[in-house]
Structure 1
Amino acid sequence: MSTTPLRTVLVFSAEDQAWIRRTPITIPPFWDGHAVAPAKGDLVRVGGRQFLIRGRVWEHDAEGPVLKLYVGDAHAPSDTTFG
C-alpha cells in the first residue's frame, strides 16, 4: 500500500485572515514531509503570532484526505503595546 503525503489546511478566524492579507506573511507548509498529524492543543507561530490548534476535521476531496486545522485567535504578547 502506498502512502499519500499529509495535506493540512490552517483555518483562521476572519480577523486573523484579514491580518494575514494585510501583512506580507506566507503560511509555511508546517507538516510537509511528516507522517504524524498535528494534534489539538499544538501551537503554531506565524509572523510572530501564536495560534493554538482548537479543532481538527478530516475531509476527502478528489486528491485524497485533507486535515483542516481550526486555530484560535492570535496571541502575540510580544506584539502588544499597553499604555
Structure 2
Amino acid sequence: MPQQDLRIVLSFSAEDQAWLRLSSIAVPKFFEGHAVAPASGDALRIGGRQFIVQARIWEHDGMAPTLRLLLSSGHAESDTVFG
C-alpha cells in the first residue's frame, strides 16, 4: 500500500544542524516516493557521516500525517572524532 500525503521530516541534533549548514550540505529526500516508511535502526549517510534512526514520532497537522525521525549524532566514515 503506497503512502499517500505522508511527509517524512529528519530531526538532527543542534551540532549536526550547524555542521550541515556550515558545510552547505543538502539533505536529500531519501524517502520521497517510497512505499515503506523508515524503521528505527535504519542508517542514513549524509555528507560522509552516518546517522541512525533512533525514534519515530507520528504527528498530524490537521492536513496530513508527518513522520518525524529523530536521528543519532553523525559519525564520520573514518575513526575521526568530532567534537
- Segments of 5+ residues of structure 1 without an aligned counterpart are none
Partner of 2:32: 32
Larger Rg computed on CA atoms: 1
Query: Offset at 1:5?
Result: 3.5
Letter matched to residue 16 of structure 1? D
Partner of 1:13: 13
Distance, in Å, in 1 between the alignment partners of 2:71 and 2:40 is 9
Distance, in Å, in 2 between the alignment partners of 1:71 and 1:48 is 15
* TM-score, length of structure 2 as denominator length: 0.86
Query: Offset at 1:12?
Result: 0.4
- SS of the equivalent of 1:32 reads coil
Query: Offset at 1:47?
Result: 0.3
Distance, in Å, in 2 between the alignment partners of 1:70 and 1:24 is 21
Give the percent of matched residue pairs that are identical in Structure 1 and Structure 2: 56
Deviations 1:28-77 (A, max 9, x none): 00000011110000000000100000000000014300000000011114
Aligned residues: 80
Partner of 2:45: 45
* TM-score, length of structure 1 as denominator length: 0.86
- Segments of 5+ residues of structure 2 without an aligned counterpart are none
Query: Offset at 1:24?
Result: 1.3
Distance, in Å, in 1 between the alignment partners of 2:61 and 2:13 is 23
Q: Segments of 4+ in structure 1 off by > 4 A?
A: none
